[in-house]
Chains A and B, each alone.
Chain A
Amino acid sequence: MAPSVAERLLERLDQAGVSGGLCSIEAAAEFGVDHQTLVGAVKSLQALGEVIEAEARTATRWELSPEGEEVLRCGSPEVRLFRSLPEEGLPQSEAMKLPGGSLGFSKAMANKWVRLDKGAPGGPRVLRAVLSVQDTVQEHLGQVRAGGAQGLPERERTELKRRKLLLEVTLKSYWIRKGSAFSTALARPETELTPEMIATGSWRRLPFKPYNFSSLGLPPACGHLHPLLKVRSQLRQIFLEMGFTEMPTDNFVESSFWNFDALFQPQQHPARDQHDTFFLLDPAEAPQLPPGYSSKVKKVHSQGGYGSQGYRYEWKVEEARKNLLRTHTTSASARALFRLAQQEKFTPVKYFSIDRVFRNESLDATHLAEFHQVEGVVADRGLTLGHLMGTLRQFFTKLGISQLRFKPAYNPYTEPSMEVFSYHEGLKKWVEVGNSGVFRPELLLPMGLPENVSVIAWGLSLERPTMIKYGIKNIRELMGHRVNLQMVYDSPMCRLDV
């Protein structure tokens, strides 16, 4: 096996003597290898420790450009023009066609080697102005080519550079010397411990290549959960810790009845407009509404009852049958509460759900036609607004939000209603983090729940806390197929309480 460049370099250094050094460029020329290859060898030797010392140097070298090469071969344009010009001169237009051309002409004019007789018969004529000329440009280039660039006056070099005949090349090189641990016997340090080394005990005498601790490790082959999934599982965890049972929400298609009417939301309510809700073409209508219950809902809307004045309008079953993509998971809560009311004996419950809802909204950086709603519901005898606030405080504290205040609000299906605000340290203001309230009796009593049972509930979106937690500005990077996978790869684990 032929000795490697590194080995040859060590040999060569050994010959140079202790005090001597070596230029990497010269060494490359001597070994007949590319300079880069030699630099590679220097780097690999440096990695071994103090075997060699290499001092980085920057050298400037002058080289001839392709045009410069041509001038060196054929002479400068001005000289070529001068020499081709006959003694009687030529009309200007023809002189331009001589070797050297217009560039040679203008240079020769500047040097006052030729002159232009404007009054000559038949138009301006170019005539020689001196007898002979010397091609200093060619000579200078020759001098550079012979390695004598340093001998040229600065002014000349600059002029040749300006004429793009000379190029200044910067060369990085090394001045190589023996290091304190110099040895020609290249004992290549081991990169890794092997089973053989352990078996033979050779590890005791072998040098090991040091690790580069500042580089990054190999990324593990692993999956990445979407940030929404991470925040969702945290929220589920919080609900489960608080004793909440997950509600079934596996029906994106819902009837207007469960989405609105059961929640005592009147049929003329703006949310029931085409502009706010996606209605279905097929299946356009729900085949069945709960028979006894829907007539009670009709009555409480149109005539009142259960202590209510009602909305006093003509309730239409066709309107209630209209199918839609559910606009909130509260429709699922209504179904769960209805099931609860059908039990023989009422038992207190705590329910939660986190699932997809759909709104016919104008799409922008913070609004999508579908998003996730987080909802919590507690049904028990004698629950108060204070209980709602206490529950909210527990929930939001677990979310890492401790500074809360409550603003009176209006929701069609809760009364009293309160918006939950938290103080945002970054924005230095109170921001809304959720909506809540006590379900109206007009909603609960027709279901058949006992009169002294109160139901408190609250909701928030899953996307908003996720966007805040992960610093995502555009919801379209979070939801939908335009999700940014790099963001998914890079997002850290979710701990909401810190």
Chain B
Amino acid sequence: MCVSSAAGVCSSSVEQKIYVELNETVPCVRLLNATHQIGCQSSMSGDTGVLHVLETQSDLDWILSSGPHPPYMVIMETAFFNRSVMMRMKNSSRVSGVAVIVSKTGLAQNFSPHTTCPNQNTGVYGSELANCNVTVWNPLGNGLSYEDFSFPVFALKDENQTQVIRKCYEDHNQRVNGSAPHYPLCAMQLFSHMHAVTDTVTCMRRTDLQNRFSINPEVLCDPLSDFNVWTSTRPLNSSAKGHAANESVVIAAARLDGRSFFWEQAPAAEGTVSGIITLLAAIQALYPVTQEAPPPRNIFFTFFQGEAFDYIGSSKMVYDMEKNDFVIDLKNVHSILEIGQVGLHSGRSLWMHSDPVSRKNDSVNEAVSEMMNRMESAAAGLSVSVGHPSFSQPLPPSSLQRFLRAGPIPGLVLADHQKSFSNRYYESMYDDAENLNVTYPPGLTPDEQLVYETDAAKSLAEVATLVARSLYLQAGGENNSLSNITADPKTVAQLLYGFLVQKNNSWFRSLLLSAGPGPPQFYIGLGPRIHGPVHSVTRFVQYILANLTGTVTNLTESQCQNPSELSTENKDLFSYFWVSGPASVNSTGEPFCVRASVRLSEAVSPAFELLEYGSRNYSTWTESRWKSIRARIFLVASRELEVMQTKTQQNC
């Protein structure tokens, strides 16, 4: 008889006796590019294995050679999640899956699953300077994110759930005095079957076949895509594409995304957030001065999405500029300043990286040297200093490399590392607030934490001031206006809190309807075609920019949606945002309309527009589709009991 539960939902009570569903699951999914597949795959009906917790070396031997109940589902303590152990698991037939406990206890001093030489094939360098011949950028990288595993790997982030699994293991699977445990044993089943195989070319070919010949086409993979965010000090007419007359533009760029081994987990604090916040604070500092005393050149700020995956956003923007499909083109670009990883300089100096190959050209060399001088003079009077690494060192992985592929443009990449990255957790799940030393004293309410100025906030504000002043000088502004350009540490503190600790805070809520708890994750994802409107991080940056640089208008909601009907508003020059307004204790905020010159531009790799899925020049990264990703634990009986049950009916 089916006994209904308290919720009134009648489910099979036998199933409830057998399985414990694990709800908080973080899988590793399969990604494909032109030639390879990376990530993890389970079989179609899930992979089952007897649980074993990997805490000591003898556990590793038990799993790989001596345990009597293979295949095993390994519960891996944090300390064992490294390349050597994972490679041994990969080569063993006794492992049916891995669940990694994600915690700070036992975490090694460094952990970066990315490669040692990020984006080496899609940068600007040929064979002499590519492949990190001169400087290995990420020496601590173990390349795990780019391996192909044929078993599922999940991350256990929820402490309560890990406790449930541990209890089941301790009750049933513990070894008593070195002897093997008895049946029934605790086991786990992981489902993460991926539909795409081999590489993007194969997957897109199969998808095209499905779309053409099947009544119910089944898409197998989707290209990674989202939007870049850009704005400028003087509004640009977005309907006029191609070369903009009389515009000489200084581009200030930062990246918007990160990644880690697991799907949609990318706190990317030092790798990405430091750059975003610096540029946002610099924009806020620059904007009033550029309206009062406008410099000769326009300053174009842009945030590129998808840079972790072979420069998706920047390659698309350069491609559009080359095809005259963007508001400016490459001849409009005067120089480029890119903000790289700037969070860990802590009293040491920042470094201006430049490209030695383009500097062989005298005019470019002169322009770059001038840029460095301007930056050094802007740093005078600030507590941060700048230096330049040796001339022959190539650029670190940066969006500037894609611009240089199109032609020699003077540019600098500002970073906190002279040679290799200072970031010990580059593109991993552990590159979080703690990595940037963003900690709050205990006992503060969330609203107090939002405005609390940590040391990291103050130091990033200094960097932002430096960037803003350098950009003003680079755009031809006057020296005497420089002292008015100062980044606000309070804004930086709020941005740090919102991007690293809690995205559901009162400031973000006043800008737009907010998302769930916790910090935002910076993985690019599949964009608006799949996930509805714009990815949350892109939307946050867009609305924050509108908040920092826009003007409040008194348009009504319908006028805000359709401003072209009004003669005073210009939809070509500006975007209009309907914003919720600050909420107080008693009431929700009064919404209003903000006009800003903030725009989005598509960030899809040109390879998918050109249908060159095996392209060597552009990013070809796609993410596989799947039906269900879940995990559950249960007991398994011995084979003897199962066989006895069949034998019983034979003898009856």
Whether chain B is bound by chain A comes out as: no
